[in-house]
Amino acid sequence: MTGYKNRMGYFLTAMVLLFWSGAAFAQKQGKQPNILCLVTEDIGPYIGCYGDPYAQTPNLDRLAAEGIRYTRMYTSIGVCAPSRAALITGLFPTFFGANYMRTSNTKPLTEGLVPPYEAVPQAGVKCYTEYLRAAGYYCTNNAKMDYQFKVPVTAWDENGKKAHWKNRPGGMPFFAIFNMEITHESQVWKRANEPLAIDPAKIVPPPYHPDDSVTRRDWAVVYSNIHAMDKLVKQYIDEVKDAGLLDNTIIIWYSDNGGPLPRQKRELYESGALVPFMIRFPDGRYASTVSDRMAMFVDIPATILSLAGIKPPAYMQGIPFLGTYNGPERDCVYGARDRLDEIVERQTCVRDKHYRFVHNYLPEKPGYMEILSRLQMPMMQHMKTLYQQHQLEPAVRRWFDRPRAVEEFYDVDKDPHEMHNLIADPGYRSHIDRLRKKLGQLDKELNPYLGLSEAELREQLWPGGEQPITKQPEFSVLADGTVKINGATAGSSIAYQVNGRGLHENHWLLYSKPVLLKKGDVLTAIATRIGYTPSTFVKFVKK
C-alpha cells in the first residue's frame, strides 16, 4: 500500500507540474498540431521533385506531392554549425558571434590560435523550442547540437541519440527533430565502397567540376547516399502514421546546408547556400504547390512558432512565411563566411531573385580552402592534383587561383552555377551598384563584428577571456502559496525539478509560471543564458 501511495504521489505531482509549467496538454489536445522536422545534411536540391535527373527519391517526391516545395530557401553560410545557430535562435549567426565554424572546437592549425568560446546573443534570446515547451509541446532533438554554444537544459525535454517523441506523456503535442547524417560530406569517402544506386557513367557533373571518372564516381556516391536517406524519411513518417498521428502532424524536411562536394559545402554560392525545403500539412493544404518565395534559415524558427500559433518574439530576425503570423517576403538574402575549420576567411554576399553580389575582404586568398578533413575525399585530392599539374579547365581553375577579385557579380538566372564574374560588365552597372549598396547596409545591420579578428571577437563576447556566469535563481512565495522563481541574470531561463523529478526522472521542466508545492516538497532550480556558464543548483523546501 505504501508503494502504491508513493507512486500515486509522484503521479499527482507530475500532473500539477504539467499544469503550472504551461503544459496542460489535456486541455489543448487536438488543437495543437504535432511538428516533425526531418533534417538531412550537405545536399542541394538533388531530389527528383526538384527536377534532378539522377535522383532516386520516391518518398521525398511523394512528400512534395502532398505538400509545398520551396525553391529559394537559403542558409547564410554553406556549413552546419553557423547554420544551426540560426536554426535554433532565429538570428543571423554573424549577429551574435556564431559565424566561425565551431567556436568550441578551434584547431591548432588555425591562423592566430584562439581558445574555444561560445557565441553570446543579447539578453533574452532563447532557443526557440522554449516557446514551444512553454506552450505545452514536448520537444525532442535527435541528435545534432552544433549551435555554437552549449545546449541549455531549458531547450529540450529530450536531447540525444535516444530522444524520441514517443517518450512524451500520453496526449501531449510534440515537436521533434531527427537528423539524418548519411548524406554528410564525410560519407562521400566513408561510404565509397557501398553499392551504388546509379551508374557513374550516366552523370554529367556541373561545370565547376572536372568531367572525369573520379568526379562521376563521387557524384554517384552522393546520389546513392541521398537514396538511402530517402528511405529513412519514410521510416520516420511511418512511425507517425503507425501511431495514428499523421492526421495531426506537420512534417518539415530540409538540408542543413548545400552540397557535400568541392565548391559546394562552405561556399556562399548557390551550390553551398541553396537548400531543398518542403512542408506537408495534415489537412492537404498546399498539396503539390511550389513556392519561389525568398526565405532563409533565420525564418524557420519564426515560421515553426507561427505554425503552432505562437507569436515569434520581437528580437527574432526571421520572418514567418506560413502560419498565423505570416509576414512579408524578403527582397534578398544575406550570406557571410569567416573561419572554416582551420582556414581564416572573410567574405559577405547579397542575393536577390536574379543576381548575387560578393565582397572578398581577403582577396589575396583563393576561394579554395585547404580543409584537411575534405582532403580525404577522392575527388578533392584529384582536383588538387589536376590544379598543380595545370590540367584544370580555366573555369574550374579559378576556384584555386589567387589573388581573386575583390568583388564578384553573377547573373544567376543565366549562369546558375556562377561561373562568370560580371563585375566589370557595364551592362549590369545599375544592378551592381544597387547590390553593392545593399550589401553595405546588411553588413552594418547584421554583421556587427565584421572586420574583427576572431581573437577580438572572443574578447567582445567574453571580456577578459572569461566566460560570463549566470547567477543563481531566487525564490519568492506568493500570496496564493505558489513559488515564483526569479532569474537574477537579465534574460536568463530557468529549469526546475520537484523532488528530483520533472515529467520523469532526469527530466527538467521549463519554468514559465509559479510552481504549486505541497508541504515538504523540494524545488530545485538552475538558471541558464546562452553563451554563459549555467548557474549552480539552488533548492527551496516548502515549509
Q: What CA–CA distances, in Å, run from 212 to 194, 197, 203, 221, 387? A: 20, 19, 10, 15, 14
**Which three three-digit cell numbers place residue 154?**
531549458
Nearest to 85, CA basis, from 116, 127, 117, 143? 127
Reported residue count of the chain is 543
Phi, psi (degrees; rounded to nearest 5) at 453: -70, 165
- Structural contact between residues 277 and 73, judged by C-beta atoms closer than 8 angstroms: yes
| 499-517 burial: b if 16+ Cβ within 10 Å, else e | eebbbeeebbbbbbebbbb
- Tell me whether the omega of the peptide bond preceding residue 206 falls within 30 degrees of 0, making it cis: no
> Which amino acids are annotated catalytic?
80
- Tell me whether the omega of the peptide bond preceding residue 143 falls within 30 degrees of 0, making it cis: yes
Q: How far apart are CA 372 and CA 355, in angstroms?
A: 32
Q: What CA–CA distances, in Å, run from 448 to 92, 201, 236, 363, 491? A: 11, 48, 40, 21, 21
DSSP designation for 515: B
Q: How far apart are CA 48 and CA 71, in angstroms?
A: 13
Question: Which residue, chain included where needed, has cell 507517425?
Answer: 240
Nearest to 16, CA basis, from 526, 543, 523, 533? 523
Residue 205: CB atoms within 10 A of its CB come to 15
The DSSP bridge pattern shows strands 289-291 and 68-74 to be: parallel
HSE-up (13 A, CA, CB side) for residue 275: 32
Question: Which residue, chain included where needed, has cell 565584421?
Answer: 450
The DSSP bridge pattern shows strands 483-486 and 68-74 to be: unpaired
505 backbone φψ class: left, alpha, beta (φ>0; ψ -120 to 50): beta
The DSSP bridge pattern shows strands 355-360 and 407-411 to be: antiparallel
Quick one: how far is CA 492 from the chain centroid? 22
- Structural contact between residues 380 and 420, judged by C-beta atoms closer than 8 angstroms: no
